[in-house]
């Protein structure tokens, strides 16, 4: 193998590996009390790049995380109570999720992957979710206002 072929092969290999190295793992805590009040995901709004992972970390066995809106061909998930869940998000758009038993208390969150391509769909779904919330109405809309 010539030096130039070896150099090209090495550069191609490094460039492929750099895409993997750039993916990040973000953590979202499932909390009884946080900066935004009672029964929250923290952070409640998270912007990530396509290919990043998000790990939902419970603080007690009473929380779970379930996707309730994903962009077309986007990842969906349903975690068990007290279970940490890791999802890789490759599809651009807005993802909405909730804690099933604490939805009436407004335990919801938003993840923006790349561009917020389905923001109008997310707003429509948020309005439906807020109908079932007895507390923290407006929390989901506040998070959606941060989508850019």
Q: What is the pLDDT of residues 69-99, one digit of tens each?
A: 999 999 999 999 999 999 999 999 999 999 9
Whether 139 contacts 36, CB under 8 Å: yes
Structure tokens at 101: 């038993």
Q: What is the pLDDT of residues 88-128, one digit of tens each?
A: 999 999 999 999 999 999 999 999 999 999 999 999 999 99
Token pair recorded at residue 127: 């309005």
Alpha carbon separation from 4 to 12, 15, 16, 18, 68 (Å, rounded):
12, 16, 18, 21, 51
pLDDT band at 19 (very low <50, low <70, confident <90, very high): very low
pLDDT for 131 equals 94
* Structural fold of domain 23-144: Immunoglobulin-like (2.60.40)
**Using CA atoms, how far apart are residues 64 and 71, in angstroms rounded to an integer?**
21
Q: Report, as an integer, the average pLDDT of 26-39.
A: 96
Helix, strand or coil for residue 18? helix
Q: What is the mean pLDDT of the chain?
A: 90
CB–CB of 140/129 below 8 Å? yes
Place of tokens 């940490």: 84
* pLDDT on residue 21: 57
Confidence of residue 22 (pLDDT cuts 50, 70, 90): confident
Instruction: Supply 59's token pair.
Output: 């603080």
């Amino acid at each position: 193998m010539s030096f130039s072929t070896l150099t090209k092969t090495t550069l191609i290999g490094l460039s492929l590996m750099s895409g993997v190295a750039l993916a990040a793992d973000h953590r979202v805590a499932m909390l009884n009390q946080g900066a935004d009040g009672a029964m929250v995901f923290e952070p409640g709004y998270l912007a990530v790049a396509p290919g990043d992972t998000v790990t939902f970390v419970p603080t007690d066995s009473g929380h779970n995380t379930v996707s309730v809106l994903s962009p077309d061909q986007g990842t969906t998930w349903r975690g068990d109570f007290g279970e940490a869940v890791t999802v890789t998000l490759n599809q651009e758009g807005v993802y909405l999720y909730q804690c099933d038993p604490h939805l009436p208390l407004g335990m919801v969150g938003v993840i923006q992957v790349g561009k917020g391509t389905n923001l109008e769909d997310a707003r429509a779904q948020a309005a439906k979710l807020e109908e079932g919330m007895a507390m923290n109405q407006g929390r989901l809309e506040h998070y959606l206002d941060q989508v850019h």
